[in-house]
Amino acid sequence: MNRKRWLALLLFLMVALLVVGLGRLTQSRETDHPWRETTLYGRGEKVVLLEVAGSIPAGKDLEDLLSKIRQAQEDQSIRAAVLFVDSPGGSVTETEAIHRALKGLAQAKPLVAAFGTVAASGGYYVATAAREIFTPATAITGSIGVIATLPQVQGLLAKLGVQVKVLKEGRLKDMGSGLRPLTPEEQAILQGYMREAYRLFLARVSEGRRLSPERVRLLADGRIYSGAQAIALGLADREGYLEDAARRAAELAGLAEFRLVRYKKPKGLLDELLGESFPLGLSSETEQLVSLLGRKGFRLEYRYLGGGLW
């Protein structure tokens, strides 16, 4: 590499470090309340909108949602919360983490849930933390159960002439790898793991909806219900939409009038100059594709597959 290229590279690195440094210096200093509020409509005391849209979030998206829930719980100026759910569900562990955080919020102030088009499986699971659930009559909900998909690729590899040698210590170490069929013993082990997650789902519905365990088990065969059916079965409370749920949350908080607010991350100078994503990073679409390609192995999910695998 000649001298000009070295100088150009050095200049580029200096500019990048300067921009990152400015971004850190200009971040919001409000550590107690990292999320800024924006008013959606209304006036008066505040009801905050929390959203679970798409698959149950993981990673940084999960951290952000839990942070919003925590801020809504701790901020005394927030009088109530409404949870909008439009999700087919997702990973078991992340779903339970969201439910647990929402339960803490619901113990501190009124929390009412509103369904979008789909609030099934894990989407329904998180909503059971709310005091009341509103649903459109035609929404898809229910799908109470656990699922795991385990692709079997040994046949494809054989056709391609690819052989994989697995070295292991521990008889069951490669269980569920997809490189060979499960043995009856291995399937029984994984089924037991799923049964534990299923029982947890039943317990959350029983507790949240104030239904007997026996009643919940009858409803929890994995089938979907319309919003109207869910109301008739006790899985939801009222027919309605987000605005109805927000109004009910305000009513439970004793508010004659309210304004609905949403959290958004405050922008520093770096964000204002460059927008939401750093230009040298991956686009959100690329990140999603990389994440999808990186998934492998046995994965327990509270997911309605009619809402898509991913």
- What are 130-156's pLDDT values in tens digits? 999 999 999 999 999 999 888 888 888
The predicted pLDDT at position 77 comes to 96
Instruction: Work out the pLDDT band at 161, boundaries 50, 70, 90.
Output: confident
Query: Is 121 labeled as catalytic in the residue annotation?
Result: yes
- Residue pair 175/182 in contact (Cβ under 8 Å)? The answer is yes
CATH number of 33-267+297-307: 3.90.226.10
The predicted pLDDT at position 310 comes to 43
Catalytic residue, candidates 173, 264, 277, 296? 173
What residue spans define the domains of the chain?
A: 33-267+297-307
Instruction: Work out the pLDDT band at 166, boundaries 50, 70, 90.
Output: confident
86 vs 158, residue with greater confidence: 86
Instruction: Work out the pLDDT band at 103, boundaries 50, 70, 90.
Output: very high
DSSP string, the chain: --HHHHHHHHHHHHHHHHHHHHHHHTS---SS--SEEEEEEE-SEEEEEEEEESSPP-HHHHHHHHHHHHHHHH-TTEEEEEEEEEE-EEEHHHHHHHHHHHHHHHHHS-EEEEEEEEEETHHHHHHTTSSEEEE-TT-EEE--S-B------HHHHHHTT---PPP-SSTTTTTT-SSSPPPHHHHHHHHHHHHHHHHHHHHHHHHHHT--HHHHHHH-SS-EEEHHHHHHHTS--EE--HHHHHHHHHHHTT-SSEEEEEEEPPP-HHHHHH-SS-TTS--HHHHHHHHHHH--S---EEE-GGG---
Which stretch of 21-25, 85-89, 169-173 has the lowest confidence by average pLDDT? 21-25
Average pLDDT on 16-37 reads: 61
Catalytic residue, candidates 55, 121, 143, 177? 121
Instruction: Work out the pLDDT band at 30, boundaries 50, 70, 90.
Output: very low
The predicted pLDDT at position 308 comes to 52
